[in-house]
Chains A and B, each alone.
Chain A
């Protein structure tokens, strides 16, 4: 008897002894059939109306897709110009405010201890201000050397200027000076000017995978071009 209820067949009437489960199902069935009669039954949608509805929905969807596609093509063809800055200008990367102060070459790393084997270091000094809500060491991924492009350049070590020791996370609203230090390969010429890219970061309250909040890379925020100082004599 419940087959009529599941299939929504209103031509069949359901009933049962008062208070039983089948009586309750029967009452529900009658209610839903009444709703169906009142909402749908009164004004049956004609074929013309249905075709119009399909057409409008289809056209709307297609227009939205076309506009979105055109906008992304336009944005890819006309990217926002990346600002080219010099030393002592502040870059807003989204999560950090980065102010690159100075670039120099030397043979003593920021720890002040001269390595046993003579080495050459490119040291870039910068001020970092963490604008996010928690301590982070993601600043180590921000600055990269675009020019001169050196193959096989090892990743830089970041030193905290305060301690002359390796930097950990940087706290929000507590600006710190750090020194990024690249060990320059012995067989490569030393640069007299560097072109540094500073990466941007964007906050997503819900990421695309889990829907969890986080900071993500967002292209290049700025390019900083500056001369490289040199401490003579170098080995």
Chain B
């Protein structure tokens, strides 16, 4: 009797162990996910190939662009999160192609693709070693996903085990959302200017 019980117990234990191993083994996605480097707004955050610093952030319900007198309005069902900063390459010239806003719930919002020809926009600018370049980023996010989020920046979203900057911008986030902001073209190093309505 006890032998049968023992065998049943051993079987149950073996099944439990297998179940546990099956569910605790990290998947390919976890094993090859980017290595996060944490940083804060206002400081230089570095990885092997580039460095980035966040200077300012803005929140707006609607954005307008003014290019050569042509005004275009960009509405959103959430809010616009504008991030101004500067980036510099360290080894070779590169363009950052992966920028995401990681909300407090873990949902990721990619850099907006609605400003295809904005000068100074992250994906339009090439970073050169030793020459810091001012960069503008825009995200469309639901309002409740702004507080407690992080800015994720990487050279590419496709390289496994690459480094990724994870920047906390809480220090420069405004307290309130402005109804509308206008992005103007500007001469000089910073190729845009933000005007509050």
Report the minimal beta-carbon distance from B85 to chain A, rounded to whole angstroms. 21
CB within 8 Å of B: which of A155-206? 160, 162-163, 165, 168-169, 171-176, 205-206
Q: Are A134 and B107 within 8 A (Cβ)?
A: yes
Residues of B in contact with A (beta carbons under 8 Å apart)? 27-29, 32, 74-78, 100, 106-110, 112-114, 140-142
Is A173 touching B107 in the complex (CB atoms < 8 A)? yes
CA distance A162 to B100 in the complex (A): 22
Interface size on A, residues (CB 8 A): 21
Asked if A133 meets B106 with Cβ closer than 8 Å, knowing A163-B74, A171-B140, the reply is yes
List 26 interface pairs A-B (beta carbons < 8 Å), by A numbering.
Answer: A134-B107, A134-B108, A134-B110, A135-B100, A160-B114, A162-B75, A163-B74, A163-B114, A168-B112, A168-B114, A169-B110, A171-B78, A172-B107, A173-B107, A173-B142, A174-B76, A174-B77, A174-B78, A174-B142, A210-B28, A211-B27, A211-B28, A212-B27, A212-B29, A212-B32, A213-B27
The complex places the Cα of A162 from the Cα of B72 at a distance, in Å, of 11
Per-residue CB contact flags for chain A residues 32-63 toward chain B (1 = under 8 Å, else 0) read 00000000000000000000000000000000
Complex CA distance for A141 and B107, rounded to whole angstroms = 22
With both beta carbons as reference points, the residue of chain A lying nearest to B157 in the complex is identified as A134
| A/B pair count, beta carbons within 8 Å | 54
Residues in A with CB closer than 8 Å to B32 are 212
Q: Which residues of A contact B28 (CB under 8 A)?
A: 206, 210-213
Query: Smallest Cβ distance from B176 to chain A, in angstroms?
Result: 21
A82-114 vs B, CB cutoff 8 Å, 1 = contact: the mask equals 000000000000000000000000000000000
Which of A160, A172, A176, A210 is close to B109, meaning CB atoms less than 8 Å apart? Answer: A172
- Distance of A206 Cα from B108 Cα, bound (Å): 20
Q: How far is the CA of A205 from the CA of B112 in the complex (A)?
A: 27
Q: How far is the CA of A172 from the CA of B108 in the complex (A)?
A: 8
Q: How far is the CA of A174 from the CA of B100 in the complex (A)?
A: 16
A residues with a Cβ closer than 8 A to B are 133-135, 160, 162-163, 165, 168-169, 171-176, 205-206, 210-213
Choose from A134, A168, A172, A205 the contact partner of B113 (Cβ within 8 Å): A168
Selected contact of A165 from candidates B29, B114, B141, CB within 8 Å: B114
10 more CB-based (< 8 A) A-B contacts, given A162-B75, A163-B114:
A162-B74, A168-B112, A171-B140, A172-B109, A174-B78, A174-B142, A206-B27, A211-B28, A212-B29, A213-B28
Distance to closest chain B CB from A25 (angstroms): 30
User: A135 to B75, Cβ gap below 8 A?
Assistant: no
A135 lies within 8 A of B27 (CB): no
**Other-chain residue from B74, B77, B112, B141 in contact with A176 (beta carbon distance below 8 A):** B77
Q: Which residues of B contact A210 (CB under 8 A)?
A: 28
- Contact assessment for B77 and A175 in the assembled complex, using a CB-CB cutoff below 8 Å: yes
Would you give the shortest CB distance from A218 to chain B, in whole angstroms? 19
> In the docked arrangement, what's the CA distance between A169 and B76, Å?
14
| Residues from chain A with Cβ under 8 Å of B141 in the complex | 171, 174
